[in-house]
A and B are shown apart, each in its own frame.
Chain A
Amino acid sequence: MNAIETSKLTKYYGKSRGIVDLDMAVGEGEIYGFIGPNGAGKSTTIRTLLGLIHLTSGSATVFGKDIVTSGPEIRQEVGYLPSEVFYYDDMRAIDLLRYSASFYDRDVKQTEARARELAERFDLDLKRKIDDLSYGNKKKVGIIQGLAHKPKLIMLDEPTGGLDPLIQQEFFHLLREENAEGATVLFSSHILSEVQKLCDRVAIIKDGSIIRVDEIKTLLETATKRFKLDLVSAPDPSMFTLSGVTDLAISNHSVDFLFHGRLNDMTKLLAGLDLVDLQVIEPDLEEIFLHYYQKEE
């Protein structure tokens, strides 16, 4: 059984497009990345799965339960952290965490103990009022309230904003630990290096639809390579009109481009150049992402 499965999931806000015919399957125990620029439909997908917004058509299940008819049951097993966190300013952090714990059918004391353990790990003073916390510390409260009840599915919607690099690292460690204990993670981000660091598989979303799903490894092993050339003399740009060459940048004696195509054709082109240095680099996820975006256009 998949942790999340959607079938032609569609959400329109009036006439504006949210997501269209979105099909997604997240296996249990996966760390599934969800990447796309702002407005692509990442938040809409997560918010629809959580019942914060209502689907227009299609269907979705979480652990086999329908999101429309079994919302509260599903949310018993879900921990959620949105990109922007807002809590009750009049509460202390510990009160908020106790309030959060009171919604779950878990042992409240055990959940509170776990919350205290996480607070110590993230160096958060639980006695402080929410109103007095910095945004980064509010985000820590968000992480704790999302994970203290040991959810089976962790939904993270661009979660790292406001966290300093050290806390981000600790957060990622925590997610890996939770995943090792069986939790499924849905991680939405437009920061591709984050997804690259953490996820097993990644879905690329564009204009409300998923345009590609692949394992991170496969995406990185794609035939697309970055070529960096140093030449004896300034090259003639017309030499690089070979099909499959994109993102071309020529500066003095250096040439930089992405190539997706037959390597034999490229070696023929390179043979005609007076090379000082040649580097063939695996592109990072960002470059691949842009590649797919451009290809779709």
Chain B
Amino acid sequence: MNVFLREIVAYRKSTLIWMASLAGMVALFMIGMYPAFSSDVEASKQMIGGLPEAVRAAFAISLSNFFTIFGFYAYFLSFATVAGAIQAMNIGAGSIAKEFAGKTADFLISKPVTRPKILTAKLAAALVSVVAVSLAFALAGYVAAQIATSSTGETVTTSTFVLLSLTMLLIQLFFMALGALFAVLIPKIKTAVAVSLPTVFTFFIIGMLGEILGNDKVRYMTPFKFFDSMYIINNTAFESRYLVLEAVLVVVFVAATYVLFQRKDIRAAA
């Protein structure tokens, strides 16, 4: 419990900043922009329809649902998840890597506590941070959607909204687990950002390329494409095969992290 509390305290500021930033952005986007687009759908469609199809595909703009509240939210979500993924990977990798980079692993591991307990406490604290960010984003998004639709008369179905918002948390879990694995796998990570930014953007670009090329198999290669917003909006459900894939990958990453962390030699600081 002491390690868990220490981690929570250590990450409280950055967690609050991420919560405020993502909540603020979603509120601004939904309240500030949705009414403008939805007030004159035809003109907006013409404007966006003028963009090349490849550009629309790359940026996941679908003319059929872009001007509905869920379509608009899903569109913003496709970019917000990148930010969420970076936050999750930062904390997943950082909470472990900082002990090696700051050479404090000597202090921590020479204490009477097992390595699995240390790792569990760190991952639990990272999970709390990730869930808090996801929750802040979803709650702000929900309130903003209610405000944005107050003039259009659209109904914001809670179940669909919750499922769409859950994609943020699921993507974050993937990157948090991957970050933790990288922290024990890659020696001498100086800062978590040095790992999280290239990793997250690589997966994001793979997803964009898949959209441009129209290759559906790419969906298995990047968590950004595991949860199709159109499918969620139309079925109020996730596609089970991708949900299983996500679960398997997260379990494998976390299990491998435990094994490698247990085996790791903490060499003398020099």
Which residues of A does B touch, CB under 8 Å?
13, 43, 47, 50-54, 71-76, 78, 80, 82-90, 99-100, 102-105, 145, 157
- In the bound complex, do residue A88 and residue B104 qualify as a contact, i.e. CB atoms below 8 Å apart? yes
Cβ contacts A to B, 29 pairs, < 8 Å: A13-B265, A43-B268, A47-B266, A47-B267, A47-B268, A51-B109, A52-B106, A52-B110, A52-B265, A71-B114, A72-B113, A74-B112, A75-B111, A75-B112, A75-B113, A82-B106, A84-B103, A86-B103, A86-B104, A87-B104, A87-B107, A88-B102, A89-B102, A99-B6, A103-B111, A103-B112, A104-B112, A105-B112, A157-B268
* Residue in contact with B110 in the complex, picked from A73, A75, A84, A88, CB distance below 8 Å: A75
A145 and B111 CA atoms in complex are apart in Å by 10
Per the CB 8 Å criterion, the residue count for chain B at the interface is 22
Nearest 10 CB-CB pairings of A with B: A86-B103, A75-B112, A103-B111, A102-B2, A53-B265, A52-B266, A76-B112, A72-B112, A84-B269, A80-B110
B148 to chain A, nearest CB (A): 40
Q: Which residue of B lies closest to A50 (CB)?
A: B110
User: For the complex, is B260 an interface residue (Cβ under 8 Å from A)?
Assistant: no
Known: A72-B112, A103-B2. 11 other contacts (CB 8 A): A13-B265, A47-B267, A47-B268, A50-B109, A74-B112, A76-B112, A84-B103, A84-B268, A86-B269, A87-B107, A104-B111
Contacts of B113 in A (CB 8 A): 72, 75, 103
A75 and B263 CA atoms in complex are apart in Å by 18
Q: Which residue of A lies closest to B111 (CB)?
A: A103
User: For the complex, is B47 an interface residue (Cβ under 8 Å from A)?
Assistant: no
A222 and B110 CA atoms in complex are apart in Å by 38
A113 and B248 CA atoms in complex are apart in Å by 49
> A-facing mask of B256-270, CB < 8 A → 1, else 0?
000000010111111
B26 to chain A, nearest CB (A): 30
A72/B266 contact (C-beta < 8 A), A86-B103, A86-B106, A86-B107 known? no
Contacts of B102 in A (CB 8 A): 86, 88-89
Q: Give chain B's interface secondary structure class.
A: loop
Contacts of A104 in B (CB 8 A): 111-112
- In the bound complex, do residue B265 and residue A54 qualify as a contact, i.e. CB atoms below 8 Å apart? yes
A53 and B106 CA atoms in complex are apart in Å by 10
B258 to chain A, nearest CB (A): 15
A122 to chain B, nearest CB (A): 18
Contacts of A85 in B (CB 8 A): 107
Contacts of B267 in A (CB 8 A): 13, 47, 53
B195 to chain A, nearest CB (A): 21
User: For the complex, is B10 an interface residue (Cβ under 8 Å from A)?
Assistant: yes
Contacts of B270 in A (CB 8 A): 84
A101 to chain B, nearest CB (A): 9
A103 and B6 CA atoms in complex are apart in Å by 12
A84 and B106 CA atoms in complex are apart in Å by 10
Contacts of A84 in B (CB 8 A): 103, 268-270
A208 to chain B, nearest CB (A): 15
Q: Which residue of A lies closest to B103 (CB)?
A: A86
Contacts of A54 in B (CB 8 A): 263, 265
- In the bound complex, do residue B112 and residue A82 qualify as a contact, i.e. CB atoms below 8 Å apart? no
A76 to chain B, nearest CB (A): 4
* Residue in contact with B114 in the complex, picked from A72, A82, A90, A157, CB distance below 8 Å: A72
Contacts of A74 in B (CB 8 A): 112
A103 and B104 CA atoms in complex are apart in Å by 15
With a 10 A CB-CB cut-off, give which of B6, B268, B269 has the most chain A CB atoms. Answer: B268
